[in-house]
Structure 1
C-alpha cells in the first residue's frame, strides 16, 4: 500500500516535510522515495525513519514523495525528456493502448510502468498546450484505472500539479506552504482545514494558492473540511472497517503496479523459488479464520488452473493429526498478522514431517511466520486496524490467485491466450472494485431487512461456497447474528428443516455452469417461504421475498473478490444498525504489527 505527499513553498520546504513524517511512520509506511527541485536532484530511496537525516542541510522549494509499507517502489517516480517528472501510485488499466500510442509518437519506455507512461503522456500534451495544468488534465482524461499522480515541470518551477481517479487526494494550505496527500493525517500539521478533491479533479499548487479543474476541465471550488483529531485517521469515514473496505481498489492497484500482472513466479517470489518449486506435486494450505476461507477458495484455482492436487487444513486441527502427505508438497501457511499461534505451530509440524518446501503469506513482513518459512509472499495491504479482516482477506484472494496463475504457467497449463485474458482481468480488477459503490444503497436496504433476524444462511457453490462461509463469519464477528455458510447442494441434507419465513438466506449466484443447479436449490428455499437475497449477474428480477442485486460478470475467476467486498459491506451495514462496535467486536482480538 502506497501513499503520496507533495509540498511547495517559497522557502525551503524540506524542514516542513520532516515534521510531517511521524503520522506516516505511525501508519507503518517504512520506506520513502523522493524527488525535489534541487539542481541535479536524484531520486532518493531510504527508510522513512531516516529520511529527515538525508534531508538535513538540504534545500528545495518543491518535493514529491511516495511512501510504501515495505520495500520502496522504485518505479513510482519517472521523468520524460528531462522536463516532466511524475510521482504516483496506482495502476493504469489501458497501459498497453497508451504505450502503443506513445511508441508511435516517439516515446519508448520499457517497462511500461504507471509513472513513465503518465510522464510521457503529459509531456506529449504539454508540447501542444504549453500549460502544465491543462496537459495533466488532458492526460488524465485518457488514462483509465485507479491512480493518483503528482507532477513537476522544469519549466514551471513554481507549480505542482496533482490529479487522481478513485484514490482521494487532500490539499492543505498553510502559512508558508501548500501540500497535498492521499493521507490527511500527513497534512494535519500544516492546516486544520483541508480540501478533498472530487473524482477526476486536477489541482495546481503554488506557494500561496491553488487552482482546481473539474473533470470537464472547468475551474471549480470544493468546500473545505475540518477534520477533528479523532476523525483524521479515518479519512472522514465513521469506522476503520468502513475505511478499509473502501480503500481496497487502491490497494489492488498498488500491488499490481508494484509486482506486475504477468504470471511470473520469479517476479512474484524470486528466481530461487521458480527453480526449486517447478516440480512440486501438490499443495497444502494451512490457515485459520478468514485466511482459511481464502485458502478454500484458492484450492479451486490451484486445481483448475495449475492442475495441482490441493488440500486445505485448519491450522488448529492439522497440528494434531497424523498427516500423510507426499514429500514433494508445497506447504503454504496463510495468516494476516503472521503471528497466529495455530498457524505457526502447524507450519512447524509440517517441517517436522520433513517438508522442505514452505511458503508464508502474511501482511507483516517481519512476522514469526515469515521468518519460519523458506519463501515469503508479502500482502502489502497496509495496516488493518479493524479487528475483522476485510482488505487483508481480499488481498489474500488476489495473491493466491496470482500464485495459482504462476504455477499454471510454470507447469505449461496456461496458454498464451488464457494468460492474456487473466492479465486483462487483473488490470480491470481495481476499477471494478470501485464500481461496487453503486450497490451500496441496495446493500443498506438489505441490512435494514435482516438486522433484526435471529439467524442467517449464506449459500453458494464451487468458488462461492467458501465466500458463503466467510460472509457468515463476518456476520458473527460484527453483527453478533447466528449466521451459517452452506454449500447450496447440501441444503437438502438437513439445513432445509430450519427454513421458514423468518429466515433470510443470502446467496451468491454467478452465471456459470452451476447456475441452474443453484436456482433449483433456491427454489427449495422459496417453497418453504424463506426470504431470499441474491447477489447475481444472471439477469434476475426482484419480486416479493426475492431480492436481487445485480453484480458485474466480466472478471471470470476474479469475480469472487468482488462478491466478497459486497458481503463485507453488507455485514458492516448490518452491524451499524445493531449499534455494535464494528472495529472492536466483543471478545475478539488479533495481532496487528503496524498501526
Structure 2
C-alpha cells in the first residue's frame, strides 16, 4: 500500500494528473513513489524514495509525457524502502502494475513464476502480480482483461490493482479485492484512485468498485465491468460532495492543526442529525427501530483511535441504555474462537471505512451468524457501510493528518447519540432527559471553542514535553480511554514513548517508572471520581513525579512545585470526554512542533490501513 492513481486522457498529458493526485494522497503515509506512462513508443517509468516532489522533479527532467499512465505511493510491507521496491513494477517491458494491499501467497507465486523463467528485481509481493499478468497476457493472445482476470485467480489476500500494457495503449484494467479503488469520469478522460481526494480537482463523477470487480477502462469511460461472480455489472456514478477547499491548508501550518480547530464545526455538523430529528432510531437506518428492538447486547469492533472511541462509548451504552457492551480490537477478534449471539449488534467504527482488519472482523462476525450490524464511518459509500445493515456517517469532512483528531470526536458524538437513542427506546431516558441531552449536544461546540483558547498555555507545557523520552497518561472511568488516546497521539507524532493507565492501577506496577524525568498527564474533570484521582496524584507527587493536570474550573486543584494545572471553563457533564480530548491533541501537536517532527506524516504510519 498506500495510494494509487491512474488516468487515460485522450487530449491531455497524464503526468500532471498523476503527480498532483499522488501529492493529494501523501496524507495516507508513504516512503516512496513512482509513475509509469506510455509515451507512444514504450512504457517509461520514474521512481524515487522519499517525497513525491523528488519523483515529480525527476519526471520533469526526463520530459515524461503520455495519454495513459499509473502512479503509486508506497508504504513498505514487503522489502525495504528502496527504489527497486517502489511501484510501478514492470514485467518484460510490456506490463506495468501498481498495487495496494498484500498478496499473502506471494512466496508460492514467486516460486511458481521463477519456475516459468521470470526474474525478480524486487523483494515485494507486487512484482508477482506484474509477472503473473504478463504470463497470462501471453497465454490469452494479448487480451489484457482476460490476463488480469486469470491472474487474480492465483492471488490470496487483499489488492487493488491497475494495469497497463505497452501494446494496448488505449486501455487500462483495474481490479479490487479488499482495498479501496474508485473510477472517476471526466470529459473524454477516465481516472482511477484509492481516494476521491486525488481526483476531485478534475471531476466529481465517481463510481466505487466493489470486492471482486474487474473493469476495462478507456478515455470514454468504463467499457466493461464484471463482478465477483464473473457476471456483467454496473456501478452507480455519484457526484462527490467533497470540497476541494477541505483538502487545502488555508491559514494553518499543518493539517493536524487545521483539523483540531475544525472540531467545533465538525461536531456541530455531526450532532445536527440528533438536534434536528431527536434521538430516534431512524437516524441509523429505515429499519433501525426493528433492529434495535431485536438486540440484547452490543459488540464493537475497531482499531487504533476508533478503538478508543469504542471504549468510551461502552460507558455511555451501559450507563444510559443499560445494554451490555463488549469492545474488541478487530485484528484480534477475527483470529479467535467466538461465542456468537445472533441478537448481538455488531458495530464497526472506522474513519476511512476501509480498515482491512475491521472489514474482515465484520465478515467473520457475519459468518458466525450475527445478522445485525451498524457502521460508524466518515467516508460515504466506503466498504464498511456497504457491508453493514445500518449506518450513520460522521460529518467530520476530509481528515488529512495521519493522527486522527476530528474523526475521533465526531465518532464520540454519534456513539453518544446511539446510547441515548437506545436508552429512550428502552424507557430509561425520559423526554425531559432527552431534551437535556440535546441541549448538552447543542452547547458542546461552544465548550470546545473555549478549550481552544487554552492553546497558548498548552503550547508552553509542550516545550517541557519536547525534551522528554517517556510520559504517562492517567484517567479514571470514562476518561481512561481519553488518556489512552492522549498517549497514542503523543507517540504517533512526537515519537515520545507514552503509556496510559487507569489512575487506580498506578500502584500495581507503573508507579515504578515515576521519577523527576517522567511527566504524568492526568485527565481529572470534576466528576464523581475526582477525589480518587487526587489520591492517585499524591502517589505520583510522593515519588518526585511532575504532574500536568487537565481539569475543570470548579475542581479546586492547587498549582505548586511539580503540579501544573490547566482548567477548562466548566464541567460539561456526560460529554466531558469529548471536551477533554482537545487538550491532549493540542499537547501532542505542539510537542511535535517543538521536536521538529513531521506532524502530518509521522514515520512508519499510514492514514488508511488497508493491510493486516
TM range (shorter): 0.5 to 0.7
Q: 2:537 aligns with which of 522, 525, 529?
A: 522
Of 230-239 and 501-510, deviating more is 230-239
Cα deviations across residues 117-150 of structure 1 (Å, max 9, x unaligned)? Answer: xxxxxxxxxxxxxxxxxxxxxxxxxxxxxxxxxx
Give the TM-score taking structure 2 as reference length.
0.58
Look up the SS of the partner of 1:323 in the other structure. Answer: coil
How is 1:171-182 mapped onto 2 (pairs within 5 angstroms)? none
How is 1:66-465 mapped onto 2 (pairs within 5 angstroms)? 233-260=248-275, 263-465=278-480
Give the corresponding residue for 2:38: none
Look up the SS of the partner of 1:376 in the other structure. Answer: strand
Give the corresponding residue for 2:579: 562
Cα deviations across residues 403-453 of structure 1 (Å, max 9, x unaligned)? Answer: 111111011110223212111100101111111122101101110111111
Number of residues paired by the alignment? 371
The CA deviation at 1:513 is: 1.4
- Pairwise CA RMSD of aligned residues? 2.4
Look up the SS of the partner of 1:235 in the other structure. Answer: coil
Contact 2:483 2:500 in 1 (8 A): yes
Contact 2:255 2:600 in 1 (8 A): yes
Contact 1:332 1:360 in 2 (8 A): yes
The 1:413–1:261 alpha-carbon spacing in structure 2 relative to 1, beyond 3 Å, is farther
Give the corresponding residue for 1:55: none
Q: Which runs of 5+ in 2 are unaligned?
A: 1-19, 26-199, 201-243
Q: Distance in 2 between matches of 1:463 and 1:232?
A: 33
Q: Distance in 1 between matches of 2:293 and 2:329?
A: 26
The CA deviation at 1:545 is: 0.9
Contact 1:361 1:376 in 2 (8 A): yes
Contact 1:358 1:373 in 2 (8 A): yes
Q: Does 1:533 align with 2:533?
A: no
Give the TM-score taking structure 1 as reference length.
0.60
Runs of 4+ in 1 over 3 A off after TM superposition: 229-232
The CA deviation at 1:400 is: 0.5
Q: Does 1:499 align with 2:532?
A: no
Cα deviations across residues 509-549 of structure 1 (Å, max 9, x unaligned)? Answer: 01111111111111000000000000011131211110000
Q: Does 1:579 align with 2:577?
A: no
Contact 2:550 2:580 in 1 (8 A): yes
Q: Distance in 2 between matches of 1:332 and 1:428?
A: 27
Give the corresponding residue for 1:589: 606
Q: Distance in 2 between matches of 1:540 and 1:268?
A: 41
Look up the SS of the partner of 1:306 in the other structure. Answer: coil
Look up the SS of the partner of 2:335 in the other structure. Answer: coil
Look up the SS of the partner of 2:293 in the other structure. Answer: coil
Contact 1:244 1:384 in 2 (8 A): yes
The 1:488–1:262 alpha-carbon spacing in structure 2 relative to 1, beyond 3 Å, is farther
The 1:518–1:325 alpha-carbon spacing in structure 2 relative to 1, beyond 3 Å, is farther
Q: Which runs of 5+ in 1 are unaligned?
A: 1-21, 28-185, 187-228
Q: Distance in 1 between matches of 2:337 and 2:279?
A: 35
Q: Distance in 1 between matches of 2:340 and 2:320?
A: 22
Give the corresponding residue for 2:240: none
